[in-house]
Structure 1
Amino acid sequence: MKGVSKVYGTLHALSDINLTVNAGDWLSIMGPSGSGKTTMINLIGCMDSPSSGSVILDGHDISRESAASLTRIRRDKIGLIFQQFHLISYLTAVENIMVAQYYHSMPDEGEALEALEKVGLKDRARHLPSQLSGGEQQRVCIARALINSPDILLGDEPTGNLDEENEGIVIDILRTLHNEGATIIVVTHDPEVGDVAQRKIVLEYGKIVQDIDQTRPLDPKESGGRA
Structure 2
Amino acid sequence: MNILEINNVSKNYGNLHVLKEMQLSVSKGEWVAIMGPSGSGKSTLLNIIGCMDTPSKGSIKINGIETSQLNKKQLTELRRETIGLVFQQFHLIPHLTALENVMLAQYYHSIHDEKEAIAALNRVGLGDRLHHLPSQLSGGEQQRVCIARALINYPAIIIADEPTGNLDDENEQIIMNVFRQLHQEGHTIIMVTHDKEVAENAQRTVMFEYGRIIKVIVNTIYA
TM value normalised by structure 2: 0.95
- 1:1-227 matches, within 5 Å, as 1-215=6-220
Identity rate, percent: 60
Q: Deviations over 1:126-170 (max 9, x none)?
A: 000010011000000000000000000000110111000000011
State the AA in 1 paired with 2:207. V
State the AA in 2 paired with 1:68. K
State the AA in 1 paired with 2:215. Q
Q: Deviations over 1:71-92 (max 9, x none)?
A: 1100000000000000001100
Cα displacement (A) at 1:66:
1.5
Mapped partners of 1:217, 1:184: distance in 2 = 15
The farther-off stretch of 208-217 and 192-201 is 208-217
User: Which residue does 1:221 correspond to in 2?
Assistant: none
Mapped partners of 2:31, 2:114: distance in 1 = 30
Mapped partners of 1:157, 1:64: distance in 2 = 29
User: Which residue does 1:223 correspond to in 2?
Assistant: none
Q: SS where residue 196 of structure 1 aligns? A: coil
Unpaired segments ≥5 residues, structure 1: 219-227
Judged with a 3 Å threshold, the aligned counterparts in structure 2 of structure 1 residues 28 and 203 are, in CA distance, closer, same or farther, namely same
TM value normalised by structure 1: 0.94
Mapped partners of 2:206, 2:60: distance in 1 = 17
Cα displacement (A) at 1:60:
1.1
Cα displacement (A) at 1:67:
1.5
1:31–1:189 contact (8 Å) kept in structure 2: yes
Cα displacement (A) at 1:216:
6.6
1:199–1:215 contact (8 Å) kept in structure 2: no
RMSD over aligned CA atoms reads: 1.1
1:49–1:64 contact (8 Å) kept in structure 2: no
Cα displacement (A) at 1:192:
1.2
Say which structure is richer in strand: 2
Cα displacement (A) at 1:105:
3.3
User: Which residue does 1:225 correspond to in 2?
Assistant: none
2:203–2:222 contact (8 Å) kept in structure 1: no
Q: SS where residue 15 of structure 1 aligns? A: strand
Q: Deviations over 1:71-118 (max 9, x none)?
A: 110000000000000000110000000010110231211110100000
Unpaired segments ≥5 residues, structure 2: 1-5
Mapped partners of 2:110, 2:82: distance in 1 = 13
Q: Which runs of 4+ in 1 moved over 3 A?
A: 215-218
Mapped partners of 1:29, 1:175: distance in 2 = 16
